Each structure stands twice: as C-alpha cells, then as structure tokens.
C-alpha cells in the first residue's frame, strides 16, 4: 500500500536513477533511499530488491562491450572479483553499521568528484589501463561495499577508476557492467535469507532498464571531456546527497 500511495514520486525517481546509470554509470544510489523514505520499505528489504533490480540495467553495458572485445577482456578480472566480493558483502549486510559504511562511501565519492574536476582544469592525461590483478582487487572491494550498501557497484567503482586516472569511457562502461555480478551474487544471498521481494525487484528493474536505455542514448553524443565533466559533477552531487542522509 505505501508503494502505491507514493507511486507519483517513486516511478519518476526510479526512471531517473536508470537514466543516470545509462548515461554515467551512477544513479543506482537513489534507489534504496527512495524505497526506504517514500516507499516505506525496510532497509534490508530495500537493499535486497535494489541488488536484483540492478541486473537489468547492467545488461545495457553489454552492447558497448560487445563492440570492443579488447575492452571486454579487460573487464573480466574486475567482474570476477566483484562476484566474489558481493557474496561476502551480502552476508555481512546486517552486521555492520550502515552509517559508518555510508560515511566511507561519501568520502570516496566527494574526493573522486573533486579530483575529476581538478584533472579537467589541468588537462591531465589518462593513465594506462590497470593490470588484471589490480582490477580483480578493485572488483572484490566494490563487490563487498556494493552488497553492504545496496548501491549496485558503479558509485564505488567509478570514483576508484577515476582516482586511478583511467579513461572515463572505460570507467563508465565498467561501472555499468559490474552491476551484473554484484546483483546476481548478492541477490542469491538475500533470497536465501528470505529478504528478497521478487515483485518489487522486478518492477524496479524494469523501470531502471527503460531509463538506462534512454540515458545511454543521450550520452552517446558526448565527447570524452564532456563525459568526464558530467561524471565529476554527478559524483559531487551524489556526495552532497550522502552528506544530507548522514545528518538527517
């Protein structure tokens, strides 16, 4: 009933989250706060539903990866690490304080956004692609953190890759793709613990997919510099949103 009563804000908010995922890789961070605050869904159930819902927009990232096989191969260690990390994170989701986790994510997102803006001012060149072991390690960290916070992966992976001065187009595609192993692994754990509302997850996933397709189409006309500007600005906005959540 609460979900139906607040459908007027839930539907556009979830579509917006999907659009931001498709355009920049970030956007899933909106889903859990929207479900808990406006849908009156308990945080563990909201995190479980969001985890599975992110699997559908992750499929959108497979199209650009299919067009660039070399890039796709570079993401394999990252996705494998995320698969392992997400399982551990989902098991710990009720054992660690959510506020502490959110504070750490907030610091990372704000720092990455500021560094991205500063890099544009200096016209810094992208660094070489990271090695497979480093990408796998990042995947493990992202999988754990994403499963614990219900953010889907991009909000952690994207700032980490930007801090490592990776190409922004690679960072965005990798951030979108990492949602798939995180979603599948953490959802399996949530389902086993009877926290997963399949209907809610399917509804959110469908809306995220529609928004993600539209967002990817809109972002396809942006050059790399404009895309980095957009991503950096959005990271700062997300960081500000997290600061608000921490103190309310």
- pLDDT, tens digit (0-9, with 9 covering 90-100), for 6-21: 565 788 888 888 888 8
Whole-number Å distance between alpha carbons of 233 and 222: 15
Give the range of the structural domain holding residue 175, as residue numbers without chain letter: 2-246
Report residue 195: phi and psi, to 5°. -105, -5
Beta-strand ranges (E) seen in the chain are none
Instruction: Evaluate if residue 1 carries a pLDDT over 50.
Output: no
Instruction: Evaluate if residue 74 carries a pLDDT over 80.
Output: yes
Q: How far is CA 23 from CA 3, 169, 205, 227, in A?
A: 27, 11, 17, 9
Report residue 131: phi and psi, to 5°. -75, 165
Please state the pTM of the whole predicted model: 0.76
Instruction: Evaluate if residue 120 carries a pLDDT over 70.
Output: no
Band of pLDDT at residue 124, cut at 50, 70 and 90: low
Residue 136 is predicted with a pLDDT of 93
Band of pLDDT at residue 180, cut at 50, 70 and 90: confident
Q: How far is CA 248 from CA 100, 110, 242, 243, in A?
A: 14, 18, 10, 9
Residue 134 is predicted with a pLDDT of 93
Residue 122 is predicted with a pLDDT of 55
Higher pLDDT, 245 or 178: 178
Report residue 87: phi and psi, to 5°. -65, -45
Residue 206 is predicted with a pLDDT of 92
15-29 mean pLDDT: 81
State how many domains the chain has: 1
| Dihedral-angle region of residue 26 (phi above 0 means left; psi in -120 to 50 means alpha; beta otherwise) | beta
Instruction: Evaluate if residue 221 carries a pLDDT over 90.
Output: no
Residue 98 is predicted with a pLDDT of 64
69-95 mean pLDDT: 81
Whole-number Å distance between alpha carbons of 168 and 112: 12
Instruction: Evaluate if residue 24 carries a pLDDT over 60.
Output: yes
Express each pLDDT in 128-162 by its tens digit: 888 899 999 999 988 888 777 666 678 788 888 88
Residue 21 is predicted with a pLDDT of 83
């Amino acid at each position: 009933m609460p979900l139906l009563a607040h459908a007027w804000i839930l539907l556009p908010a979830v579509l917006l989250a999907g659009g931001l995922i498709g355009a920049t890789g970030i956007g899933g961070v909106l889903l859990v706060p929207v479900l808990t605050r406006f849908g009156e869904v308990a945080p563990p159930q909201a995190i479980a539903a969001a985890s599975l819902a992110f699997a559908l927009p992750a499929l959108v990232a497979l199209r650009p990866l299919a067009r660039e096989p070399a890039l796709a191969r570079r993401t394999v260690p990252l996705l494998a690490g995320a698969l392992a990390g997400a399982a551990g994170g989902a098991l710990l989701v009720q054992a660690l304080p959510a506020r502490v986790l959110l504070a750490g994510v907030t610091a990372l997102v704000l720092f990455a956004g500021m560094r991205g803006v500063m890099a544009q001012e200096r016209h810094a060149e992208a660094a070489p692609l990271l090695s497979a072991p480093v990408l796998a390690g990042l995947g493990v960290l992202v999988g754990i953190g994403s499963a614990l916070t219900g953010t889907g992966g991009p909000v952690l992976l994207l700032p980490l890759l930007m801090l490592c001065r990776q190409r922004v187009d690679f960072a965005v595609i990798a951030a979108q793709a990492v949602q798939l192993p995180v979603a599948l692994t953490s959802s399996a754990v949530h389902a086993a613990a009877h926290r997963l509302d399949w209907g809610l997850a399917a509804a959110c996933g469908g809306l995220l997919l529609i928004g993600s397709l539209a967002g990817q189409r809109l972002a396809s006309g942006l050059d790399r510099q404009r895309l980095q500007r957009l991503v950096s600005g959005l990271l700062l906005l997300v960081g500000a949103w997290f600061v608000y959540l921490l103190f309310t």
